[in-house]
Amino acid sequence: MGSPIECVNLRKTYDGKVEAVRGLSLRIDAGECFGLLGPNGAGKTTTIEILEGLLAPTSGEVHIFGHTWDDNPRQLREWIGISLQETRLSEKLNVRETIELFASFYNEPSSTADILEELQLTEKSDAWVGKLSGGQKQRLAVATALVGNPRILFLDEPTTGLDPQSRRQLWDIVRAFQKKGGTVLLTTHYMDEAERLCDRLAIVDHGVIIAEGTPSDLIDRLGGHHVVEFQVNNSANNNGNDSDSLDRWRSLPSVESVRREDSSVCLSVREPHLTIPALLDVIANDGHRLEHLSTRQASLEDVFVKLTGRHLRED
């Protein structure tokens, strides 16, 4: 049996014009939680829907456990569970009826009671779907994906718009599925979700993968370990020779990269204890006053900004 999900050189062009996916290749291993991280409009949903067999690619190949979607779509559907980005389930059915409806489509589904318990929906089993909170609705959506006993779980933006507690509940559900041997592919534009939940990530922008690896590897490789952010009082004077001053900061010890963010300067730094004293010396020698200084662990956000010059969430 091939790897759970594999695709080669996927392309998708809408109406012969808009290129949503432009040559994307992936291979996801069994038992892995893989994340597609990228801003809105990066092509994540198009990619995941092609992999789910809901959308035909313009070109490229998809293999699910070594099968293509043309081989035996019904069998593939037995093996996968899907939560779409936006599905409004029937509001006038209750939670149990909804799960049983979805269970009835599969050859060998889980018992409804187990799924209710696993997704912490037992108390709500008689409530109409229309009366559920956002988090409960999302858990129900995942319940309908899990009830068929899938080997792969596809989740498109599973926690968008949810409160922090509901997001953590969903993360726990995904981890529990993984623990039972399941493979997960999810899309997200939340870097914290990608960082905590995913074993491996692909950062997607404009329909292509711009970086791939484990979260810590990506951060190490591209973000530096730490970020030193500071602001000096003469930033107005620097407008004319911005690149000059950025070059000066880059030459400080242990600095890997520099970028300007509004009126602050961000340094990606390997060892802050070497950088910071030198930085303070330079500022003092120039006769400037330090207005702000902070250090933090580098994040996937820094990786994304480094790669694209933009933030994940521009809103």
Partner 1 sequence: MATTETNAPQLEANKNRQPQPILPARRNGRWSGYRHLLWARILELKREPEVVFWVFVFPLLLAAGLGIAFRNKPADITSVVVIDGAGAQKTLAMLQNSAARSTVRAIILDRDAALKAFHFGKFDLAIESNPDRSYTYYYDPARPESVLSRAEIDAALQSAAGRKDAVTTSARASSEPGSRYIDFLIPGLLGMNLMNSGMWGVGFALVEMRQRKLLKRFIATPMRRSDFLLALTSSRLVLMVIEVGLLLGFGVLVFHMRVQGSILSVILLGSVGAVAFGGVGLLTACRAQKIETVSGLINVVMMPMWIFSGVFFSYQRFPAITIPFIKALPLTALNDALRATILEGASLGSQSGRLLVLAVWGGVSFILALRWLRWT
Within 32-71, the residues that bind partner 1 by CB under 8 A are: 52, 54-55
Contact with partner 1 (CB under 8 A): which of 16, 164, 240, 309? 164
Contact with partner 1 (CB under 8 A): which of 88, 240, 309, 314? 88
Within 4-33, the residues that bind partner 1 by CB under 8 A are: none
Within 130-149, the residues that bind partner 1 by CB under 8 A are: 144, 148-149
Where do the H-state alpha helices sit in the chain? Answer: 44-51, 73-79, 95-103, 112-118, 134-146, 164-179, 191-197, 215-218, 242-250, 272-286, 300-308
Residue indicated by tokens 């594999």:
6
160 binds partner 1 (CB under 8 A): no
87 binds partner 1 (CB under 8 A): yes
179 binds partner 1 (CB under 8 A): yes
- As a whole number of angstroms, the distance between CA 53 and CA 209 comes to 20
Distances (CA, A) of 206 to 47, 153, 210, 239, 249: 12, 25, 9, 31, 31
Least distance (Å) between residue 211 CB and partner 1: 24
Number of residues that bind partner 1 (CB under 8 A): 43
Distances (CA, A) of 26 to 12, 62, 78, 90, 200: 15, 9, 22, 35, 11
Binding site for partner 1 (CB under 8 A): 52, 54-55, 74, 77-78, 82, 84, 86-90, 92-93, 97, 100-111, 114, 128, 144, 148-149, 151, 164, 168, 171-172, 175-176, 179-181
